[in-house]
A and B are shown apart, each in its own frame.
Chain A
């Protein structure tokens, strides 16, 4: 055995444990999932027969799924904007000379350490009990009823909770990027008379474009796959009308897939939806990352 082959073999053997894990928990279930989406599998027992593209055809006639798709897009857009704007502002705050900035940094990050289910339930209590009682004592009619049970405001509650949870995490990425910008560049600009706003928009933002790439990617995928807060906060409710059918106003795609598979016990159709979900998310992520990459500059 030549030393080159031996070396290759050693490398491969070192890779093997993680490769096996990756194959078993990602690749095999993924392929099985695609296979199941072409059958009428019920989740238990063996597959009885193949149904071709029937599951996929049914999806595009399913008002609930189409509605979930639109709601997920809306949620993703709103959430990307609010999470990143809030995260960027607080990262500027905690990298400034403000007193107690380390306390703020920890404080903003802590919500991210709380599990989504707990968070959803806590905020559900806030939105159904505390906000209405404050609203009615202030005499505000819109706030005196639960914002969750109103189909027009439920999206607002989801974005609020998710921003509260996720902005602290994204903040850390921005903080690292801001701190990575050389002090001399900023000082030179200050000496040249650049105002604060100019320094932020003309120097900091362009120099931290790679942080935006990763942050936007994380918020995009996180929003698109949102499940835990969704199920605990609203459980998809309330009910709205869409295409003349009753649908769940705040049921995001992940929850819709889960309900199809487990609540309606339609495992194969749930799999078909999951495949579509995967394809759409992949396309969106690739577009976003390549667009952001094109904006990145070197200092």
Chain B
């Protein structure tokens, strides 16, 4: 009898152990929606009975490092995020084919590789140079005119001269410091201005040149002048020591007229109390000639680990764009711009930056993201260091240009 009881217990334990395995672990990179996502995952578990665990890495932490650690931990995530080509190349052995998944039928920006649909777009994101319309109005600057370098130079100078009456500490709120791991703002997002502004969506001439170790000399020269202009009218302390929070607060508290961040900051801004003025995006118009458009793309995709619980993972993704709860999570809670025809993007005043991105997208004035096609660590590490040297005043714009070109020449091994 005793033996029988222990046998039953052993079998019961094995069964619970086995059923505990049929869960989903998600490793994702958006710190700002981490808690919102966990809440949705909890609701998903209640509706379907499938336990979901969300692991978040990113922001000041390097997401790729977190992902590698999770992959090495023995319990590989079933769903994880790739940020374009380098992520795909790194993990392609593990990425499952999702071509037959329900969600692909309505998706407008899936990640396609080798003829297979493998990635569910997390969201469309965008950035330009966010501006405080109230301050620009007071200074008599029409944001619609900010479409070339000279317009920006004039506007910055005017704002700088009126700092005291407008209550500004700085014209542009921008960060570039290594210490707080903010070099993605410069080395990736700002650098994409050079890679993409003024080109057709999907035109990869400049990035392909870069991968060959070459630059478009005239275009690059103008880009360097633009970076120098942005830095000149930024606060040096903010550039070197600012982090995501201090950079945001400078803008939301009205101490800065421009803000170099994307619409992914909306949830954080809302959590911090929102903003009391009208904000929208102006284009990163770095060229002498007019360019009118902001930089938007699906920057990251959920992919399914072929060694994990593939069916459960795909069901989770289907529910994200196929159920009301999923849609509510994506659009209302997380404030994202979904890339699905059956999910309508909402642009409310509660998420001012997203609202501006939606307007630019609807107007068809956008440029694509090419920065994630660069080699790992090149943008944030190699280029980021040179941006910081310029920000700290250790080098001037000519030395900056020369060092950047030298670094780019080193891309081709």
Q: A residues near B, CB below 8 A?
A: 42-45, 124, 128, 145-146, 148-149, 234-241, 246-248, 259, 262-266
Contacts of B389 in A (CB 8 A): 239, 241, 246
Partner of B93, one of A45, A146, A240: A45
Cβ-defined contact, B65 with A263, below 8 A: yes
Contacts between chains A and B (CB distance < 8 A), count: 82
A239→B178 CA distance, assembly (Å)? 8
B376 part of interface (Cβ distance < 8 Å) = yes
Say what secondary structure dominates the interface of chain A. loop
A289 shortest CB reach to chain B, Å: 34
Cβ-defined contact, A239 with B68, below 8 A: no
Cβ-defined contact, A259 with B386, below 8 A: no
Partner of B179, one of A42, A234, A246, A247: A234
A234→B381 CA distance, assembly (Å)? 15
A266→B237 CA distance, assembly (Å)? 33
Partner of A238, one of B68, B93, B179, B381: B179
Closest chain A residue, CB of each to CB of B86: A265
Contacts of A238 in B (CB 8 A): 177-179, 240, 388, 392
Cβ-defined contact, B377 with A239, below 8 A: no
A44→B87 CA distance, assembly (Å)? 11
Q: B residues near A, CB below 8 A?
A: 62, 64-65, 68, 71, 86, 90-91, 93-94, 177-181, 237, 240-241, 375-378, 380-381, 385-386, 388-389, 392, 394, 403
A265→B386 CA distance, assembly (Å)? 20
Contacts of A240 in B (CB 8 A): 394
A128-B241 contact in complex given A235-B180, A262-B64, C-beta closer than 8 Å: yes
Closest chain A residue, CB of each to CB of B178: A237
Cβ-defined contact, B68 with A262, below 8 A: yes
Cβ-defined contact, A263 with B380, below 8 A: yes
Contacts of B65 in A (CB 8 A): 262-263
A44-B90 contact in complex given A246-B386, A248-B385, C-beta closer than 8 Å: yes
A140 shortest CB reach to chain B, Å: 16
B90 shortest CB reach to chain A, Å: 6
A239-B62 contact in complex given A246-B403, A265-B376, C-beta closer than 8 Å: no
Q: List 16 A-B contacts (CB under 8 A).
A: A44-B93, A128-B241, A148-B179, A239-B178, A239-B394, A240-B394, A248-B178, A248-B385, A259-B381, A262-B64, A263-B62, A263-B64, A264-B376, A264-B381, A265-B90, A265-B377
A150 shortest CB reach to chain B, Å: 9
Q: In the complex, which of the residues B91, B94, B237 has the most CB atoms of chain A within 10 Å of its own CB atom?
A: B237
A239-B90 contact in complex given A124-B179, A264-B377, C-beta closer than 8 Å: no
Q: What 5 pairs across the A-B complex have the smallest Cβ distances?
A: A237-B178, A264-B377, A237-B179, A265-B376, A149-B240
A248→B376 CA distance, assembly (Å)? 18
Cβ-defined contact, A235 with B178, below 8 A: yes
Cβ-defined contact, B392 with A149, below 8 A: yes
A124→B181 CA distance, assembly (Å)? 13
Having A237-B177, A263-B380, one finds 6 other A-B pairs with CB under 8 Å, namely: A44-B90, A146-B237, A149-B241, A235-B181, A248-B385, A262-B64
A237-B388 contact in complex given A146-B240, A263-B376, A263-B381, C-beta closer than 8 Å: yes
A263→B379 CA distance, assembly (Å)? 11
Contacts of B403 in A (CB 8 A): 246
A248→B380 CA distance, assembly (Å)? 13
A247→B68 CA distance, assembly (Å)? 25
Closest chain A residue, CB of each to CB of B60: A235
A263→B378 CA distance, assembly (Å)? 9
A246-B90 contact in complex given A146-B237, A149-B241, C-beta closer than 8 Å: no
A27→B68 CA distance, assembly (Å)? 22
A265→B376 CA distance, assembly (Å)? 6
Cβ-defined contact, A247 with B385, below 8 A: yes
B208 shortest CB reach to chain A, Å: 21
Contacts of B94 in A (CB 8 A): 44
Q: In the complex, which of the residues B68, B94, B178, B181 has the most CB atoms of chain A within 10 Å of its own CB atom?
A: B178
B156 shortest CB reach to chain A, Å: 23
A36 shortest CB reach to chain B, Å: 14
Contacts of A237 in B (CB 8 A): 177-179, 388
Closest chain A residue, CB of each to CB of B62: A263
A7 shortest CB reach to chain B, Å: 36
Contacts of B392 in A (CB 8 A): 149, 238-239
A241-B394 contact in complex given A146-B241, A149-B177, A149-B241, C-beta closer than 8 Å: yes
Contacts of B64 in A (CB 8 A): 262-263, 265
A149→B235 CA distance, assembly (Å)? 14
Closest chain B residue, CB of each to CB of A265: B376
Contacts of B181 in A (CB 8 A): 235
A248→B386 CA distance, assembly (Å)? 10
Closest chain A residue, CB of each to CB of B387: A239
B183 shortest CB reach to chain A, Å: 9
A49 shortest CB reach to chain B, Å: 15
A146 shortest CB reach to chain B, Å: 5
Contacts of A263 in B (CB 8 A): 62, 64-65, 376-377, 380-381
Cβ-defined contact, A236 with B93, below 8 A: no
Contacts of A145 in B (CB 8 A): 237
Contacts of A44 in B (CB 8 A): 68, 71, 90-91, 93-94
B242 shortest CB reach to chain A, Å: 9
A149-B179 contact in complex given A238-B240, A239-B388, A239-B394, C-beta closer than 8 Å: yes
Contacts of B178 in A (CB 8 A): 235-239, 248
A238→B239 CA distance, assembly (Å)? 11
B296 shortest CB reach to chain A, Å: 26
A137→B375 CA distance, assembly (Å)? 46
Contacts of B241 in A (CB 8 A): 128, 146, 148-149
B331 shortest CB reach to chain A, Å: 34
